[in-house]
Structure 1
């Protein structure tokens, strides 16, 4: 049953828009809407008990993060599974992040090294699923994953590059979760462990190559057809 969002009196429409946005973003990220599913403002407004204007504001924010499309007929939808955007985002990340990682390895100090080790430790110890919540993924793991990848790059000391990472990460996180569902046998923990090891060894060439392959694997898993993956067609 869909939860209705109630309006807090002090901030009215603005607060409602923030709440609807957070609710919708979470629903998309948790896979409650299938790839390509329509996001109908009228239906969402009725389900959440808010005005159409509030829903449209929230949808525009979700579109801005790359988690929904605004269609030519002014409708909204979750991005399609095979949308070329995911490959464009993967290409952008493969171009930017290995370069930033090299800068981190060159300029990162001992405090940065400690944060990388701590971030990987948390990631490795956080369960990837939350069955007690009825979810196919763990929100805690997703956050630990983001922190690990960002911490690897923070040694670069360049806030503009880190802001670029933040934007690309948000846009690609939905694709990563879809890819994880399609490639359940992927050994991501080993990929992360090797990436940490090469980074802390200050082996820039190996670390950059491992990161490039890590990002490429996600993109490839997303676009592989069931036949290409050796699976039966559904």
Structure 2
């Protein structure tokens, strides 16, 4: 018997998955701000789904920590207090440095080639769409994600990589809420190059230290900007 045959009548797994994905993207991007009450009727109308797939999507978001279940009162978007950012950055440093050390130990020539290519592609894309003012470039953001994924790809622990990805998305939510896209007096490309060089040299302590500094610098900028927005 298939999974679809085991589902309750009227349950559409494809619709529930699509609604969950769209809600998740809207929370991570900041389009649905922290603390917003997620009213079932309004959401069903906005996302074109019935009550059953919408409840399932919200339950999944609550399990992921992106929504909060209110006792007898539905759901709301999870908080994103500036004070929580430091803990998130620390968790990301601990998890990704462990994964990077394993990737350096286990990685083969194909992994090295993929990392070199990811950095090359990142360097070829402009961070800003507008030379006169900093406007985030989605192509750069995608290449940036791929570079950081390439660093960890050889660690051989898919659950750890998935955890790192979840932390990355949560950190990205804070960045979106703070609207931080530029970092004065900081050369992000040079930071990426230094991380890549140490990684390819198989120097795990140096690569881990550089990756930690990279995230801590970003966290400091985002935290300061978020504090100004929420003050």
**TM bucket by the smaller chain?**
0.7 to 0.9
**Larger deviation, residues 90-99 vs 22-31:** 22-31
**What does 1:73-88 align with in structure 2 at a 5 Å threshold?**
73-82=72-81, 84-88=83-87
Match of 2:183 among 182, 185, 203: 185
1-side partners of 2:78 and 2:189: how far apart? 28
**Larger deviation, residues 16-25 vs 109-118:** 16-25
**Quick check: 1:67–1:174 contact (8 Å CA) kept in 2?**
no
Deviation at 1:152, TM superposition (A): 0.7
**What does 1:1-234 align with in structure 2 at a 5 Å threshold?**
13-82=12-81, 84-128=83-127, 137-179=136-178, 181-182=179-180, 184-185=182-183, 187=186, 188-224=188-224
Deviation at 1:127, TM superposition (A): 4.5
- Secondary structure of the structure 1 residue equivalent to 2:37: coil
- Secondary structure of the structure 2 residue equivalent to 1:69: strand
CA spacing shift, 1:163–1:80, aligned 2, 3 Å: closer
**Larger deviation, residues 52-61 vs 12-21:** 12-21
Deviation at 1:78, TM superposition (A): 2.5
Aligned-pair RMSD on alpha carbons?
3.1
Q: Which runs of 5+ in 1 are unaligned?
A: 1-10
The list of structure 1 runs, each at least 4 consecutive aligned residues, that deviate by more than 6 angstroms after superposition, is 231-234
Deviation at 1:85, TM superposition (A): 4.5
CA spacing shift, 1:67–1:48, aligned 2, 3 Å: same
Normalization by structure 2: what TM-score?
0.76
**Larger deviation, residues 181-190 vs 35-44:** 181-190
Cα deviations by residue, 1:115-140 (Å, 9 ceiling, x for unpaired):
11111222233454678xxxx64544
2-side partners of 1:46 and 1:21: how far apart? 15
Deviation at 1:148, TM superposition (A): 1.5
Q: Which runs of 5+ in 2 are unaligned?
A: 1-9
Deviation at 1:177, TM superposition (A): 3.3
Deviation at 1:68, TM superposition (A): 2.6
Match for residue 5 of structure 2? none
1-side partners of 2:62 and 2:129: how far apart? 27
- Kindly tell me the number of residue pairs found equivalent between the two proteins: 216
**Quick check: 2:28–2:169 contact (8 Å CA) kept in 1?**
no
Normalization by structure 1: what TM-score?
0.75
Deviation at 1:222, TM superposition (A): 3.5
**Quick check: 1:33–1:78 contact (8 Å CA) kept in 2?**
yes
Match for residue 6 of structure 1? none
**Larger deviation, residues 55-64 vs 136-145:** 136-145
- Secondary structure of the structure 2 residue equivalent to 1:182: coil
